[in-house]
Homo-oligomer: A and B are copies of this chain.
Amino acid sequence: MVVNSLAERYRADFPILDQKVNGFPLVYLDNAASTQHPNCVIDEIARYYREDHANVHRGIHALSSRSTKLYEDARARAARFLGAASADSIIFTRGTTEGINLVATSWGTAHLGPGDVILITEMEHHANLIPWQIAARRTGASLQYLAVHGDEGTIDWSDLERLLSQNRVRLLAFTHISNSLGCINPVRAICATARRHGVTTLVDAAQSAGHAPINVQELDCDFLVFSGHKCCGPTGIGILYGNPAVLDDMQPYQFGGEMISRVTYESADWKPGPHRFEAGTPHIAGAIGLNVAMDYLETIGRPAIQANDHHLGEVAYERLSRLPGIRILGPRRERAGLISFQLGATHAHDLVAYADQFGIALRGGHHCNQPLMRKLGLQATARASFYFYNTESEIDRLVEVLEAAIKYFGA
């Protein structure tokens, strides 16, 4: 059975998809790097600049009030999108990377010291790895890893209990969906275990916020981060959710206007709430565009997107696994809508360049997972990643072109 109902209904909303690349219809399979934008998001950004733009917060004239309202509406929407109890838990960032850096700096500096352990997994994106290496170096804490096993990329989560009992773990940071393995980590169970041990948790939801329903209160995590551009939103904007219990006593990350309460030549103190973490003029148009993107995704429904992802992921796995010499990373079942693979001795760069000549956009490289790639004995993989506007026939097209590539580059 061919299930393409989401693509049938929503694909036309994405003007960029309706183009030819190198003479072939574009098949955009690089969604894990960045998704595309529906007309409603693009139009709202333009409308905002045409009708409402002014700086926020400090102004009481009409445009400034409108901008402030739109900006704060976006914050309230993000709270609903994540199931947060209050908009005060929502901090606007540039994206996932900045969110994690903010936590590593502001929370890390205050709560980590010699003897403490930061625990992450071996499958973390560089964004959820290097900030912790640096935090460890700065504070004297040590960084430990939950091991990833085999090409399936399994983590033995029962190990977590042991590691948390035997070490003074202060923070557990892990990805919800792996951007190179496509596996889905059991966030709720993991956070529950961490909670029992009094360990603070950070969930990297870069690959999941636009792909699966998320409720931070049910997940019971302390921090959760994602990027707008990976869920139909503008570039340069992202969200950091912080549990009020941890956020309230956190020091600011950057310093400047908007975030202060009282400033003298000698010292300054800070506003309460999320504003403390948003120094300077924020990316107003970004927040406003993200609001529309989140609204759009809610209209489609993230459970439907998730089901579609699973389906496309499994279909891709089935069809790609028949290719001679292919090595696929990640689990066969219950996988996210992305698939990372190596094809014989052909280098990922050549595959991606080849596919591009037929209009197919893949990504090739280490996907910001260098240490994991090295551990798996790989330098690079090619990756196809889907969103709800992709179709099964695009997967067929991918298989066709990969078959041709095998002939082209084969010995």
Interface residues, chain A, CB within 8 Å of chain B? Answer: 15-16, 19, 21-22, 26, 28, 30, 33-34, 36-37, 41-43, 45-46, 49-55, 58-64, 94-98, 100-101, 104, 122, 125-127, 129-131, 133-134, 145, 227, 229, 234-237, 254-257, 260, 262-268, 279-286, 349, 352-353, 355-356, 360-365, 367-368, 370-371, 374
Contact = CB atoms under 8 A, between A and B. Distances in A.
Contact of A34 (B55, B229, B368): B55
B257 A97 contact: yes
A257 B125 contact: yes
Given A30-B55, A51-B19, A61-B352, A133 B268 contact: yes
Contacts of A41: 49
The dominant DSSP class at the A interface is mixed
Given A30-B54, A235-B285, A286-B286, 16 more contacts: A16-B50, A30-B63, A33-B281, A45-B49, A60-B353, A63-B361, A64-B361, A97-B280, A101-B279, A122-B265, A127-B255, A131-B256, A145-B265, A237-B283, A256-B368, A264-B371
A271 to B, nearest CB: 12
B356 A61 contact: yes
Nearest to A371: B265
A21 B63 contact: yes
Nearest to A355: B61
Contacts of A122: 265
Contacts of A64: 30, 33, 361, 363
9 contacts: A33-B64, A34-B281, A59-B352, A61-B355, A61-B360, A94-B283, A130-B255, A130-B263, A131-B254
A54 B33 contact: yes
B94 A94 contact: yes
B59 A256 contact: no
Q: Which 6 A-B pairs have the closest CB atoms?
A: A236-B283, A97-B280, A127-B256, A97-B256, A33-B55, A130-B255
A290 B356 CA distance: 29
Contacts of A104: 255
A94 B28 contact: no
A129 to B, nearest CB: 7
Given A34-B53, A97-B256, A263-B130, A281 B46 contact: no
Nearest to A125: B257
